[in-house]
Chain A
Amino acid sequence: MADLLPSPRIRRHTWRSGATLTAGVLVAVALSCAGIREDEFDCESAVAHLSDCCPQFNAQLVDCTYQAPQACGSPVYPDLGVAQSNCIRSESCETLRSSGVCTRAQSLPLDGLTEDSGAPAPVVCP
C-alpha cells in the first residue's frame, strides 16, 4: 500500500507546485478585478449585429468603451447600454432596417455618455 503513495520528495515537489499555482491564481484574481464589462461586451455584440444587417453601417463611429473616472471626472459609458444592446441583438435584420434602428444607431454620439452629461441616453431600439 505504501508503494501506491508518492515518495516524500514527490510530495514536497507537489506541495511546492500547488503553492506556486495558488499564488498565481491569487495574483490573477487581483488582476482580473476589472474584467470584461457587460455593457462593453453587449455594445460590441450589438454593433457587430448592426454591421451585418445595416447597409453601409460604419461601426467605427460607435464608441463602446467604458472609461473609469479620472480625477474629478466622470466615468464614460458605451454609446449603447445593456438594454439597448440586447434589444438590437434580439431583432432581425429586416426589423432593424424597417424600424429605423440602423439610422438611429449610426447617429449615436461619438464621445460616449457620461453620468453627468445631462443628456438622456439615446433610444435607438426599437
Chain B
Amino acid sequence: MRPSLFGWAAPVLVACALSSSSRSARAQEGGAVVIEEPPATTPAVATGPHLNEAIVGLDVGYARESLYSTPINALDFSLSLGGDFGHLSAGAILEVTPGWTREGLDTTGVNLGGFIEARLGRFRMGGGLRIGRFSVARATYGSDLATASSGMFFRVSFDLIPFSDHGALYLVGKGTLDDVGAYLLGATVGLGVRF
C-alpha cells in the first residue's frame, strides 16, 4: 500500500508536540519566562484519494432471466477491470452467462461493457452499458438463434469481508435489461472477490 503524505507527517507532528510540551514544563519549573517558539512542524498535506488504483473483480452468481415471458435459469460469471477514482470506480466488465430454459434449451450470453460506481462505505452502487451476443441452441436443427445485443445494467455490492483498501469478498446484486429483438430481463445474485 502506498503511504500517504499525511501518514508520514503524523509521527513528525506527534514528536514535535511531545518535545514542545516537555520544554514548556521545564521552563515553568525554573521560574523563567520563556517565550515559546512555535513548534517546527512539517505542514500536514492531506492528499486526495488514490487515483488510478487498479481493481480486479471476479463474480459468480445465479441469474434469472426472462425472454418472451419464458424464464431462463443461468449462471453469471463476471470479470471487471477498472480503477478507483476517489469515491467513484469505473472500468470495463466482461460477463458470460450460460443458461437453460425449463424445456431444456441452452442459452448463452456474452457481454462487454463499461461501468461506473459510487462507493459509499462498504456499499458500491452503479451501472453501465454493454454490448454482446445472445444465442439459443435450437432443439430442431441448424445454427443457433443468435443476435447481437445491447443493454444496460444496474449493480449493487456490499463488502462482506474487506481485506485491504479496495479488496474484499462481496455480495453482489445486478439487474439487467438487454435488447435481443425483444427485452431480455435479468436479475443476478452472487458472490465476488475484488483485488
Neighbouring B residues of A46 by C-beta, 8 Å: 103
A36:B49 contact, CB within 8 angstroms: no
A52 and B141 alpha carbons, distance in the complex (Å): 16
Cβ distance B93 to chain A, nearest Cβ, rounded Å: 11
Which residues of chain B are within 8 angstroms of A34 by Cβ–Cβ distance?
147, 181
Number of B positions contacting A (CB below 8 A): 40
0/1 per residue, A31-65, Cβ < 8 Å to B? 11111111011111111110110000001101111
> Per DSSP, are chain A's interface residues mostly helix, strand or loop, or mixed?
helix
Residue contact B136 to A41, C-beta cutoff 8 Å:
yes
Cβ of B182 and Cβ of A38 under 8 Å apart?
A: yes
Contact of A47 with B139 in the complex, beta carbons under 8 Å? yes
> Contact: B114 with A4, CB < 8 Å?
no
Q: Are B182 and A63 in contact (CB under 8 A)?
A: no
Contact of A6 among B86, B101, B181 (CB under 8 A): B86
How far apart are the CA atoms of A52 and B100 in the complex, in Å?
Answer: 15
B25 within 8 A of A: no
CB-contact partner of A59 in B52, B131, B140, B149, under 8 A: B140
Q: Which of A5, A25, A27, A48 contacts B104 (CB 8 A)?
A: A48
A-B contact pairs, 28 of them (CB 8 A): A2-B48, A4-B87, A14-B90, A17-B114, A18-B114, A21-B129, A24-B131, A35-B147, A35-B181, A35-B182, A36-B145, A36-B180, A36-B182, A42-B68, A44-B105, A44-B136, A44-B139, A45-B101, A47-B140, A48-B105, A59-B139, A59-B140, A60-B140, A63-B140, A64-B138, A64-B140, A65-B142, A89-B103
